[in-house]
Structure 1
Amino acid sequence: MTLSNDKAILSIDGLELHFSQGGGVFRGKAAKVRAVDGVSFELYAGETLGLVGESGCGKSSLAKAILNLHRPTAGAVIYSNTDIAGLSDRAMRQYRSALQMIFQDPFESLNSRHTVEVILEEPLLIHKVGDKNSRLQRVAELLAMVGLPPSAASKYPHEFSGGQRQRIGIARAIALEPEILICDEAVSALDVSVQAQILNLLLDIQEKLKLSIIFISHDLAVVRHMSDRIAVMYLGQIVEIADAESIYSSPRHPYTQGLLASIPRLGEASPIEAQISGDLPSPMAPPSGCRFHTRCQHRQARCEHEAPSLQAGDDGPHLTACHFWPEIAAKQANS
């Protein structure tokens, strides 16, 4: 997993995705859910960017906003020198082949009434790729690429195991040879032994097709295995982003430190000062200032009123949204 000339293939700038919830004639004003609230980052050619955070932090909403499956409230998604955020379905169609998604539940994401052949041929038909014979040949190639036999083409999704169904989902996602693949908890519904097979398959396909990947997961061990860089998301915002080794060896944001402290360790206690207390606040009423301050043991008065921006240290590429991360890091180094 190496970066290709540090060229950004996708740029996200100030992306927001807000939903209205409740309200109506007899219920008053609808509440606003700030699922994604000012996210910015770049995805480089050939890299895997891991996206981690607790359930409910906005990871899946961010993925759908990037792909315009949910129309963003504000911000830009720059791909191929074009802002695709908020494009109509018709205008977006020309970009669909280049940006594809693998969903969490392989059974729910596959049409149970269609054979695998129909499922894999469908994107080719929609985008008017080839004739019938060439499409069927492409289906056979896709099955071979994901490690399934030719006989799988005539079967239905319920005839496969979870891991095999996810292989079909991967085959469908790469049918049009995309440049960018977004994996939304793509292995979380699978057994641990099957997870390893699917992860290695994704790495092989990435190398073969020169893909750039956004890999979303709450499993920090899996993200470390897959990622070149990691972005940590909390309550709709990115709070830390750096290369994977720096995130795991020198986490700066108290939330990142808490996530890493939560990883079970045999015969070793997690550091008490890094543990996260309390529940994730509601995205309908996020805390003022730093959104993590209600759960942070290092909070100060400034945190309650002033929202920190992502800022770099001396090493530049490691960005952290915390007013006091240098002081926290120095204190931990001397303890």
Structure 2
Amino acid sequence: MQRRDILLRSAAAGAVAAFPALLHAQALDKPKLTIAVGGKNLLYYLPLTIAESLGYFKAEGLEVTIADFAGGSRALQAVVGGSADVVSGAFEHTLNMQVKGQRMRAFALQGRAPQIVLGINPKTMPAFKGVADLKGKKIGVTAPGSSTNVLANFVLAKAGLKASDVSIIGVGAGSGAVAAMRSGQIDAMSNLDPVITLLQRSGDLKIISDTRIVAEADKVFGGPMPAGCLYAPQTFIDKNPLATQALANALVRADKWIQAAGPGEIIKAVPESYLLGDRAVYIDAFLAAKGALSVDGLFPEAGPETARRALASVDPEIAAAKLDLQAVYTNEFVKKANAKYPKA
């Protein structure tokens, strides 16, 4: 009887310990959801990876599936098509979708600068002097229509070139992008880390525009340019405010953990495949990108207007549109997340 009592008490204690987590999960309006991302291995989306690998989503009662695509535009298509609920992608897509009559709202920031680097191939363009030399050349981007494509168009436009003056080629965000550059399939590249650092260290890339540096990004775009973020259809947010809050909580924890972490901790927290076979390169890439990652998940108030100006300079439809910039983002959820998690 004594042994039986001990077993019963142990079982009861275990049930009580598990009950709060179970209750938390049941209380969420959507405990199971899918996040679509374009190039999950990129440092651009490091907070998403950290939230997953350190169990921050689970701690909030969420069961998250992350679907990885070749670029941000493909990830957006997944949500529009209904196969995913939330996008981990570039902020400017929220403005593009408003023009198309689809309300998308960003609710947690991952990057306070785009981290996108435009560089040329020294082998195919040894006599490169300026951006104008890219006319008629092949430029590799993660995927056509993605933020890497937008930045390339923006830099080209500032040099007097149109998007039609170059050939845009989707090369992804990993080993395929590296191979395309090294084999000479492309003359220039708009991509992110760790791809950029790997190519730069091997002498296969010469940087001409670097928005990993916040000050340079602000100069290029004329103000703060929000980058990677979590965004979703307004209908999802309205229907699932608790799940949206849980996502924001997890991401803010990840943002803060990254800022307090050392390179060694980062290496341990990301999958081996992210390192592209070279840990030293990944560490260098992390140190180069760290300053461009958000420290608290908050969107800068001037950010939406900066994004609108950048897009308007290359897209006549956006230039002519009257956009409601307050409708493309909210800091409501991350403010509550910061109150819940004041420290990393």
TM-score class normalised by the smaller sequence: under 0.3
Q: TM-score, normalised by structure 1?
A: 0.27
TM-score, normalised on structure 2?
0.26
Higher-strand-fraction structure:
1
- Using CA pairs below 8 Å that are at least 6 residues apart, which structure has the higher relative contact order? 2
